[in-house]
Amino acid sequence: MGMFKSFGAIVAAAIAFLVWTSVFVVDEREKALVTQLGEIQREINEPGLYFKLPFVQEVITIEDRIVFFESPDKEVQVVDSRRYVVDTVTMIRVNNPRLFRETVGASLNRAKDRIETRLDAALRQTYGRRSFDAALSKDRAAMMREIRDQVRLEAEALGIQVVDVKIRRTDLLEQVLKDTYARMNAERFAEAAELRAIGEAQATRIRAEADRQSVELMSKAQRESEILRGEGDANRNRVFAEAFQQDPEFFAFYRSMQAYTKSLSNSDTTLVLKPDSEFFKYFGTQQSAPAN
């Protein structure tokens, strides 16, 4: 009786092992290929529970999600022969598992190597037709589409869809970067010198214009002042003449008093004149004393 129980347990275990080796699960993140002696028997694209022949058939799972891989430090040359470093990100997805298995053995690493080789050529072709400024302008989007379309042809032959290719960075090589900075520095200095020269020329012109206007204004003001002074002197002389005509003797006396004030106001003034000079006629005449 115990022998039959042991045999039954062995049979049950064998059946459980056979069931375990013949059942497999495909989740929503994967696709699967069932192969028999290296030949593809089935292609499974939907998630679920599936069966296979144990020990004879094998299951190859394939990533069904979008896979990202980076390609850093790719050297490219533009139309002016300058070289740049480009970083890209490529997004791929396996859309034909059977072709993917037949061409690269369902290996993403091998597929990436093949795609990256084509990516290098696409980058060189695309950048080689443009200037560096175009890579930093609105042409950048068109360049990425152009690169993606070129890589897509190679990827389709591997059963892979290239979803997109993005240019993450475009920089000058270190030596080119130094040369570019030096050239830009020299250009900025030249531009600054030109602006400074223009400013100095404008300042000189403005100063000359201001000096000219100042001379003109001073000349005009001096001319007007001389005219006003002349008119004042003429009015003064006219008033003096009218007054002189009314009383010539008083006018002569008044002018003599002004002359005395101006001449004798300073105690250090010395006048050498004859006593009977016309200048002293209003001082009076001294009579000499009678002799005894």
Q: Class of the 67-172 domain? A: alpha beta
pLDDT at site 5: 65
In the three-class reduction of DSSP (H, G, I as helix; E, B as strand; rest coil), residue 171 is classed as strand
Q: Is the dihedral of CA 227, 229, 231, 234 positive or negative?
A: negative
d(CA 75, CA 272): 110
pLDDT at site 278: 66
Domain boundaries, the chain: 10-63, 67-172, 175-257
The rounded radius of gyration (Å) of the Cα atoms in the chain is 57
Q: At what angle do helices 174-246 and 248-264 cross, to 10 degrees?
A: 130
pLDDT at site 56: 81
d(CA 42, CA 278): 152
CB neighbours (10 Å) of residue 274? 8
Structural tokens at position 34: 């069932």
Contact of 133 with 180, CB cutoff 8 Å: no
Structural tokens at position 173: 């090589």
Given the structure tokens 């002018």, which residue do they identify?
A: 255
Given the structure tokens 């037949």, which residue do they identify?
A: 102
pLDDT at site 203: 92
For the chain (292 residues), the mean pLDDT of every run of 10, in chain order, is 65 72 84 86 85 83 88 84 85 91 89 91 87 73 89 90 88 72 87 92 92 90 89 83 74 73 68 65 52 42
Q: How far is CA 272 from the centre of its chain?
A: 90
Identify which of 239, 253, 255, 259 has the alpha carbon closest to the alpha carbon of residue 284: 253
Contact of 45 with 31, CB cutoff 8 Å: yes
